[in-house]
Chains A and B, each alone.
Chain A
């Protein structure tokens, strides 16, 4: 007792800190050193192809009687025609809402009776539907998967329901500052290009989508020679092939060629810094974006490691500078999202409205620093370790395995890459990162978007960034490449 009082008094008098040691005096004062490093268990994917062109990829991890099955289509939101933003997303969503003579409630009940649920969505460059079930339920789950992919009904009342739900989803998304800033930053980077529009649709585009549009997109894209069936978990390659053959073997490949997407990159027309005013917003969402090189660019791993240094984890630079050192946000991070034809770098943080300008400056400073000074050896080793550790853990679950393998397969990357990841990450040098940042992450190609209560920070933002422009969330037109409804532009 007296000991604690003593340390309290010391704390108050000297440093304003306290040290209340409860442990015995011989407690070791330095962390014990680690033992020898264990090797990662990296399972090997097996790729087989059916005569109709369907790729069947399986990875065996039989610790528990579970299998994840996911059917991927090698196209997604980038195929939305102009004015029909959200079409690929609606199409994927509607797969499970009626198929092969079964209604939406029947399909949901069938899937859930197997213990899983069918989740269908369209991303960029891919659409997919998947389910995780216990091993004895796999064949029935695949039968269901085949029905919804091959024979969807696309009933008119389901389309009407899905459009309304998508419109409400969008409202919800747009009420979150960082989500809205991210959508706007895609417009800023890609302009009217295929990756520029909101993949979930816009209030206007969702009203325009017809059943004919959905049928056409499904006909064009959902075909065996544009599809990959991934199965991970308690399954052998032989079982995977025979199950795939049974449920997808008679899926006919059309004679027509696969349509090409529109150009991914358009002409950016937004200012380098855009403010979207959300009156009453509880925080400001700050996003900085850059165009990224394509997935098949040789510097893929340089980008991956650069992101790990910039904002890929808690201890990365953005969080270190914005949260840990300054307490300005609950979290700041970045993502590197290379795609088939281009890609996106995104950094984001939410902060109290009064510190929006400071966070914009800090975020830009960290992008700039990557291209100005080499990453120190110790920092680089730490961030590579973070990356490699997270990679290993992502392979621990059947769903995680399916995601990793699916990502490679969609882009046609050799599946042996699963086993080469660690070496590829370790090989990246500080000079490569610096060169990469100079080429892709410099101030000239940067697009910053801030969404928040501008009444709090507009004056300061204008002083710091005289070229910035402000628009009102109310006037936002997501269909327009400059985000403004015609006639309501700000000047």
Chain B
């Protein structure tokens, strides 16, 4: 049941905690070693980060670009993501889908994803293919060469991705409407997947311009994790990436400032296929590099990590108002979002869930937080991080998120240390500052079935 997630996935998953030195949970019990990564920057501006892990004979090669849907050209929402798909088509020296030949066909795998700030491309391959894939990534960074036929066919795929994730997914329209309703002026307000109309307006000329503007060594981070020899890696990186010139022009940066909210806002979205109503609420939070990100993550975990969490207990278990409920820190390079949502249980309405969501957040912000509960979420987050670090892919993603979203690879080893120090007072301070003391955007999501014409109800024969 594998679908390739060439995708509009937020690069920051539900519970971002980019690894680190975990001071022993309980001094005698467990010490987690730091990720021993190496970092340097080539003369052309390419940042190179690597970490050895010889547990299995595989290696991951990843290139993370500082470009995302916030950089979509005007009138071209969804373009950064469409472009990501085109990076799997031909280059000067590779035919379309040759990346699949160099990965899947030799026992590896590849994928890519686009978020608001970041587009990343990643392969995992048997360790003996490291050199081949370094060449291939350097090749598509410098020599992309897409033709009209591939462009048109891949754009159709992206339109199907839009239909699958937004139209056919019963809650797709809700989650796709969060950014447009949450930001007023920042380009984050454009959904990463875009719209069919804007995708249809895109042209091959846009592709050329976008590649030239953003796909350059000084706007990228190469990450290699797994079974490799560091000396050999460095030599190959120099050989294939070192020769790519650094353009003289600066990389365009988004400078738009999202203003603080001055009032609560409310919107309604409808769905022809969703069986149950839902509600989502958002608040603006500072960029992910802020030290407040970690206590906000602890707040979200207290609210929604696992069946013992406060929202699950209040909404799903005790009152049975909701079928699912959650809270999330969506940390970004610019202003992020703290979100809370619920999909209602049958027989219940969004207003009931909203009251409980707000009450639970207020209770967390204002009433004492038991020490044991705080210790519980720290243990959960640490265990989750250890699970993630079992694979080269997990290690590289931890490094990529620390480097690009939080702005510093060292965060991979300092975030968990910071986590261990988070106090109940920290959690309550950030909730007061960004959530209970700030303005919310609320989206009600209501089923609105389309009725079939009477003559279509029966058989076609």
Q: Closest CB-CB distance, A488 to chain B, in whole Å?
A: 9
Chain B contacts of A33 at CB under 8 A? 132
Chain B contacts of A275 at CB under 8 A? 460
A176 pairs with B104, CB closer than 8 A: no
A34 with B132: in contact, given A282-B273, A283-B167 (CB under 8 Å)? Answer: yes
Q: Once the chains are docked, how many angstroms separate the CA of A324 from the CA of B208?
A: 22
Q: Which of B94, B166, B343, B379 has the most CB of A within 10 A?
A: B379
A175 with B170: in contact, given A113-B375, A352-B160 (CB under 8 Å)? Answer: yes
A89 within 8 A of B: no
Count, A-B residue pairs, CB within 8 A: 353
Residue of B whose beta carbon sits closest to that of A15? B147
B372 CB contact (under 8 Å) in A31, A113, A327, A466: A113
B161 CB contact (under 8 Å) in A175, A330, A335, A385: A330
Chain A contacts of B274 at CB under 8 A? 175
B119 within 8 A of A: no
A421 within 8 A of B: no
Q: Closest CB-CB distance, A342 to chain B, in whole Å?
A: 20
A389 pairs with B450, CB closer than 8 A: no
B167 pairs with A32, CB closer than 8 A: no
B307 pairs with A112, CB closer than 8 A: yes
Q: Once the chains are docked, how many angstroms separate the CA of A471 from the CA of B457?
A: 7
B243 within 8 A of A: yes
A323 with B170: in contact, given A169-B323, A175-B275, A397-B391 (CB under 8 Å)? Answer: no
446-461 of chain B: CB within 8 A of chain A: 449-453, 456-461
- Stretch of A21-29, A236-244, A245-253 on the interface side: A21-29
Chain B contacts of A26 at CB under 8 A? 243
B128 CB contact (under 8 Å) in A36, A116, A282, A352: A36
Q: Once the chains are docked, how many angstroms separate the CA of A382 from the CA of B97?
A: 14
B42 within 8 A of A: no
A326 within 8 A of B: yes
A39 within 8 A of B: yes
Q: Which of B157, B204, B211 has the most CB of A within 10 A?
A: B157
A256 within 8 A of B: no
A280 pairs with B450, CB closer than 8 A: yes
B276 CB contact (under 8 Å) in A19, A171, A470: A171
A91 within 8 A of B: no
A172 with B143: in contact, given A164-B320, A329-B160, A385-B107 (CB under 8 Å)? Answer: no
B1 within 8 A of A: yes
Residue of A whose beta carbon sits closest to that of B392? A396
The contact size tier of chain B is: 35 or more
A472 pairs with B452, CB closer than 8 A: yes
A133 pairs with B383, CB closer than 8 A: yes
A115 with B380: in contact, given A37-B126, A314-B4 (CB under 8 Å)? Answer: yes
A325 with B153: in contact, given A18-B208, A63-B390 (CB under 8 Å)? Answer: yes
Q: Closest CB-CB distance, B227 to chain A, in whole Å?
A: 7
Contact with B along A56-69 (1 / 0, CB 8 A): 00000001111000
Contact with B along A91-118 (1 / 0, CB 8 A): 0000010000000110011011111110
Contacts A17-B147, A23-B139, A28-B135 known; list 16 others, CB within 8 Å: A19-B145, A20-B212, A22-B216, A64-B389, A104-B307, A171-B275, A171-B346, A172-B323, A280-B449, A282-B164, A315-B101, A327-B154, A330-B3, A333-B3, A458-B456, A470-B460
B residues with a Cβ closer than 8 A to A are: 1-4, 25-26, 29-30, 55-58, 90, 92-94, 97, 100-102, 104-109, 124-129, 131-132, 135-136, 138-139, 141-148, 152-157, 159-161, 163-170, 172, 204-205, 207-208, 211-212, 216, 227, 240, 243-245, 247, 272-276, 305-308, 312-313, 316-317, 320, 323, 343, 345-346, 372, 375-376, 379-380, 382-384, 386-387, 389-391, 449-453, 456-461
Provide a sorted-by-A list of 24 A–B residue pairs whose CB atoms are within 8 angstroms: A23-B142, A23-B243, A24-B244, A28-B135, A31-B132, A105-B307, A111-B306, A134-B29, A136-B29, A165-B316, A171-B275, A282-B164, A283-B168, A315-B101, A327-B153, A327-B156, A335-B1, A381-B105, A382-B101, A389-B125, A393-B56, A396-B56, A454-B452, A472-B457
